[in-house]
Structure 1
Amino acid sequence: MALSASDIRSALSLPQSTPAPAHHRKTHPSTTKKPDGISRELYSLIGPSAPSLAAHLAKPRLRQKPNLGGGGTVKWEHRPFGNSARSDTLQLFHWVKLSDPIGDYPFAKYNVQPQSYTYSQDEYSRLLEDSEWTKEETDYLFSIVQEYDLRWYVIHDRYNFPDGPIRAIEDLKDRYYSVCRKLIRNRPCAGDESSRSQLLNSYQFDKEREKMRKNYVASLEDRTPEEIAEEEALFVELKRLEQNERKFRKERDDLLRTLLGADSGLPDIVVEEDGPAALSIEGIRKKKKGGPDFDLPPTPSNIIQLGPPVSKRPPPPKSAVYDAQHCIVRVDPPAGSSNTTKVTHVPAHLRSFKLPVPKATIAPKVAQALAELGITYSRLVMPTRDNCSQLESLLDATTALIETKKIVDRVEQDIRVLKARLGIRESESADRDPKESTPMDVDESKQDRDGEGEGRAQSVIRGRKQLCRSISVSSIDTSASLPTRTGTKRQKRG
């Protein structure tokens, strides 16, 4: 609190030096408070004349905070309670609100006891006898199951029948559930047949399957880190193969749709819902399982269904004139087809794509022959129908010419070889004496003395073998040189 000079003078009983000036308070214009629910910018625009709807636009109030310091309006009481789920007289206490009525323990309703089955001596002798179980052990099993409320791991831990074999938990469960199923089947049921079947299903137990499951879990727990890494790698590879298979199947379906003309837009082609996937083995199997299409062959005709065959009629004059004006050429189906099918359907394509391509073996020779004429067959400047047909005929003629030239060259080569062989035989018959022995019959003693004669005889034999093995001879005429050479190399008997 700030003190002024006049306050100090009055407290010390001192006279006032000058009269204290009167403080004039500034009067602020009266402003109305901004109502809740309206933003400041909106209120500055509309002014104090806010609509009555602003009262309904108030901010929503969040959840009330607990009143921890309010003095405790709720009274609590430490009250005893009884539990109907217990069979003893144990007395317990708990804190409850004073206003709550006194009643049974609310959690006693969750104590649901399983239905217990008992049997008589007559039922056991007629229905429940087993070579591996006695009646005393079966009674002991049912008593311990009822004691521990079907908690099988506790039952197996506490199971100790005197002078009895060691039982696995699967043996105990199998014996108990089999006895219960037999009793349910042979006793009258209060409900209908569906309730009995439902009750039987609740007591189903497969002993072998349970053992297999546990063995599988044990094998998973016993895996080494190397085996785990290998399984993960195989799993990744399997996923990759499945992804590739889905990709290949999609590409195959797209290719089949393109080949069958499904996307050509023709009104006569009707594709089934299965689409091209029906051509696969899975689609065929599905069709066979369906029933109506069992006897149909798995051919593409089952997939693409065309309309009724259209009779061939000559085009009307108006259509022919229209086609001539717009350069439209209509392709007739191949001869020999009784009706129009997808095989005869020709989808839209560029004319230049149908140009013939020569064989790869003679393509360079065709290109060389046409290059000598100044023609390039790989590209047409104006691929009209007439130009394409002329180019096709030119390629056919060039291919036939090259094939004929190859045959002619082969025949001329054979003629030259035969002439060379004929000239050799004629020279041999002219130079050979009637009493002369064969060229191979050479005196060994003379050959030893004359080494030059032996070399000449061997050269004659090698020359004959080379002539027999040769399949191509050069263009040089050898008919004149060979006889003279062989004549000079001949060895006569001395």
Structure 2
Amino acid sequence: MAGASAADVRSILSLPANATPGPSQPKKSGPSTKKPEGISRELYSLIGPSAPTLAAQIAKPRLKQKPNLGGGGKVKWQWRSFKNSGRSDSLQLSHWAKAHTDPDTEYPFAKYNVKSTEYTYAQDEYTRLLEDTEWTKEETDYLFDLVREYDSRFYIIADRYEYPNGPARSMEDMKDRYYSVCRKLIRNRPWAGDEASKAQLMSSFQFDKEREVTRKKYLASLENRTPDQIAEEEALYIELKRLEQTERRFKKERDDLLRTLMGVDSGLADLAIDDEGPFGDPKKKSKKSGGVIDLDSPATPSSSTFAPPPPKRAQSAKSAAYDALHCITRTDAPSATTPATKASHQAAAFRSMKMAYPKSSMQGKVAQVVTELGISLARLVMPTRETLAQHEALVEAAGALVETKKVVDRVDQEIRVAKARLGMRESEAPGASTPMEVDEEVGPPAEGRAPSVVSTRSARSRKQTGTTRRSLSVSSVDTTATTTRAGTKRQKLG
């Protein structure tokens, strides 16, 4: 079978004729899209028509862009002369300047020529304030002229100082004389500003001659050290640091050991440890603890003697008012004589965790009593110290009320039982009109029992014998006893 031609393929696929130009057919010249700058050719072939939207976001880096120093066109320069207002002489200098600038413009670097305040004095001021046995007026004037000429640069002044027929002066001598004269002038002249600015200005003229001489001697000695001296100082410095580190480690180990032996970890406060450590003299009294620690015996709280606790410092009225305003309660620290137990340590807790609750046996009755008063024991809105104290007092009062009510109910039951037995005894007696004396003594109540004594004396037996008495002692009266049991006891007595 012969191969299918291109026309057959276009017919099968329902394509128009000559859709794709062949090699011999000229390509149609249509509007061709150009690849924008800042995007690679591979990326442009993938994204296709959406390239213009990304071209604005992807900017081509311009790393080799030349700086524009001229601001756009050519600039003409001229060699001009200028005047410096910072100079007092008429020196003429020249420099390159732009042609369009004004030649009469102020020199821009003249603003950096800042001069310090120049101090001068009159003859009467020198006579009254500035006389010195080591300095004459002529030499002082010469010093002030040099300071004014070289703008207080004392290294240059000391190099140029050559007063004729005068003693040798060091730079510290010149500074001390100049600053002392300035301080005296500022102190004694009228001042237009405030005292703070005057004190600040005077402090800027402070100079300690002896300290400056000592400092320079020390720096000179450091600079003149030999290599052997430098190595020795470095070795001593390293040894000093090593000793300090060893001392800190030894002190830490000693403190840990004493805390472990003396029970500090179980709740005691920090011990006052002597600086000599545990290996000092055993018979020497500790200045901090006030006792003697025997190293031969185990160091326990029972074998160690502590000093009495320091007296409590009285609290001022201001501090007490502040504590009351902010609900602050200060407790005393545990004394040194407190046994080393965990119970002696008071851990931090909320006050709401220390609320008082009634006994489980009477909790329901106490809650009922308090509920009748319109109070709830379930939760406190503000558990402050005073509120908890009132809450505890309320719980105790309610518990005491419940106990009292139980006692009153028990005594009333005993009285009713005794009266019932007395009535039954009188109804069963042969003579209904025979009087019977009943002595009732109610003692303190006991748990589950109501002891009482009922003494019955018959008038008939008292008349017959005169001295014979029959007493009935009934203890542990059972409130649930039946009439049969009571009748049995009465038959025995008859």
TM-score by length of 1: 0.45
Give the TM-score of the pair, scaled to structure 2: 0.45
The structure, 1 or 2, with the larger RCO (C-alpha pairs under 8 Å, 6+ apart) is 1
